[in-house]
Amino acid sequence: MSDDGVHDNLALRIRFLSTWITVFAGFISVSALADEPLHEVIDRLIAAKVPAYAEVVAPLAGDDEFLRRVTLDLTGTIPTAEEARRFCDDSDPDKRSRLIDQLLGGPQYARHMQRVFDLLLMRRLPEMNVPTAQWQTYLRQSFAENKPWDQITREILGADGVDPDHCGPARFYLDRQGDADVITRDLGRIFLGADLECAQCHHHPEIDDWKQEDYYGLSAFIVRSFVFTDKDEKKSFAEKAEGDVEFISAFDVRDKKSQETKSTPPRVFGGPPIEEPKFEKGQEYEVAPADNVRPIPKFSRRDQLAESIIGTEHNRFARTAANRLWAMMMGRGLIHPVDHDHAGNPPSHPELLNRLGQEFATQKFDIQWLLREIALSRTYQLSSRHTASDLPTVALKDKSFARAILKPLSPAQLARAMLEATGEANVQRAALGDQLTEKTLDENLFKYEEEFVNRFGGPPGKPPEQFESTISQILFLSNHETIQNLIASKEGNLTDRLLRFTEEESAATADELFFSILSRLPTEQDVQDVSECLAGQTEESRTAAIEDLIWALITSPEFRFNH
């Protein structure tokens, strides 16, 4: 063999070996990536999108800032003063992960998620045909059991309300009065991240992705359904065996006689149409319609709805849910607004959103698992604070997630946080005595929450999309008797506790005041302010001064926002 032949053979073998090394290295990297915890993936992909990330990223939040934030996000209220002190004094390096697990496993988590998803799914629509309490119990139990999101979706979209003991999830349909248009818009918005309202009469004028056929493809699942009332006036969601959607584009300005009427079978976002079996005339029903008889078709379009939504191409259902949970924790969606998922509004971090959706689905839509991974990430635990020295980095946009985003408290969060801060929750705990449970305490405090929701939650069916402050709300916080009663001294509340300190104990007074309301130690300036406010006061004027201090803090921006 010539030298050239030897060299050629050797070169071939080297190339062959190099190829296998590359393949093997790729295999190792893929395996390593698969083993990388999601919270570390979050941090890596967030950092990759910000130039000089290490130089501009906010520092890690302090223990007090993290404690208040994660407690509000996972339970809807603030920690007690005792909980705040205990956490800040704890030297265990794993205390943050332990806290996250503790919050996710507690009853307040389930009740908070009930409130969050009640607002998402029902928009504070008035009670019509299903008792709100049954619906809320269904949601709370679902989150207490950590039901997968796809299971909750199947139960809600498959509910008909026939069984009186399990009619809670049917509220989604029945308290929308079975209105196919209202239901269609909410199906797209909630489960698919697409507010299709403007695609009802024509292709969406601003979003090329959303066609009129997309709207009516969803509507076709619902168009045969209606609210049925039996002889006992009991409502249920029934379905006929016939009926199709027909539509004409409002942009079609031709003579009405020549306008093109279109139709579409049930389908989700251009996916495959649902194949519908054909029956001979008169054989379409298991139970034929008649007076006071609820019809049951042999083939139900609505029975196909949940699976069609959950199985959407590119796992749109999973990414929509993951984006909503991310927004709940982070204050902004990776797709923002969360119901505007289309090509013209790409995610701020496409790879991260895809990963969140994929892993959420792989973990069988385990909501607690995803919330835990988000909360464990350094990205979630960054501070929202900045000082004069890092003002140039403040220009970073919220969508960079290089600093925690300020999130206004929801009306329910504001109410619960205020009840905890002023000590009213403690008063009610003491009053309940041996009867104290999370449920009984919630029942005693609910009237306050309801008042805050009515004042801050917007009109029924139309919750505000962003933070707003009205004159009515300002006056309520300024001088309404509800706020005054929360502040007024009663045994065991914050005012009562602060009155037990002497004038010489101004530092201890400030400590109790700030831990109770803001979940943090007072600064030197805070202590000085409290001391000056209480100096030289008579017994009567001291009470008024303490009440003023409490009012100033519970109406401050630091209290009103989750940060």
Find tokens 């801060």 and name the residue: 421
Rounded Cα distance between 551 and 529, Å, is 15
Find tokens 């409130």 and name the residue: 115
Type of residue found at 131: P
Rounded Cα distance between 405 and 385, Å, is 10
Rounded Cα distance between 217 and 251, Å, is 19
Find tokens 């065991």 and name the residue: 492
Sequence-separated (6 or more) residues with CB below 8 Å from residue 447: none
Neighbours of 441 (CB within 10 A): 19
- DSSP-assigned letter for residue 350: H
Type of residue found at 220: A
pLDDT at 271 (0 to 100): 85
CA distances from 416 to 64, 124, 185, 319 (A): 19, 18, 32, 31
pLDDT at 248 (0 to 100): 87
Average pLDDT of span 461-473: 82
pLDDT band per the 50, 70, 90 thresholds, residue 219: very high
pLDDT at 202 (0 to 100): 67
Bigger pLDDT: 463 or 534? 534
Q: What is the pLDDT of residues 60-103, one digit of tens each?
A: 999 999 999 999 999 999 999 999 999 999 999 999 999 999 99
pLDDT at 467 (0 to 100): 76
pLDDT at 544 (0 to 100): 96
pLDDT cut 70: percent of the chain above it:
90
Phi, psi of 110 (to 5 degrees): -60, -40
Rounded Cα distance between 244 and 263, Å, is 7
Neighbours of 1 (CB within 10 A): 7
Bigger pLDDT: 463 or 93? 93
Compute CA 44 distance to the chain's CA centroid, rounded to the nearest angstrom: 24
Mean model confidence pLDDT for the chain: 90
Of 273, 246, 244, 274, which is closest to residue 259 (Cα–Cα)? Answer: 246
pLDDT at 14 (0 to 100): 34
pLDDT cut 90: percent of the chain above it:
80
The alpha carbons of the chain give a radius of gyration, in whole angstroms, of 29
**Is the pLDDT at 512 greater than 50, yes or no?**
yes
Question: Which of 104-113, 158-167, 306-315 has the largest mean confidence?
Answer: 104-113
Q: What is the pLDDT of residues 310-330, one digit of tens each?
A: 998 779 999 999 999 999 999
Average pLDDT of span 272-297: 95
Q: What is the pLDDT of residues 113-149, one digit of tens each?
A: 999 999 999 999 999 999 999 999 999 999 999 999 9
Average pLDDT of span 351-371: 98
**Is the pLDDT at 428 greater than 90, yes or no?**
yes
Torsion angle of C-alpha atoms 493, 496, 498, 504, degrees rounded to 10: -170
- The helix (run of H) or strand (run of E) holding residue 534 is helix 524-534
Average pLDDT of span 199-216: 83
Of 58, 68, 64, 235, which is closest to residue 162 (Cα–Cα)? Answer: 235
pLDDT band per the 50, 70, 90 thresholds, residue 8: very low
pLDDT at 31 (0 to 100): 39
pLDDT at 253 (0 to 100): 54
**Is the pLDDT at 170 greater than 60, yes or no?**
yes
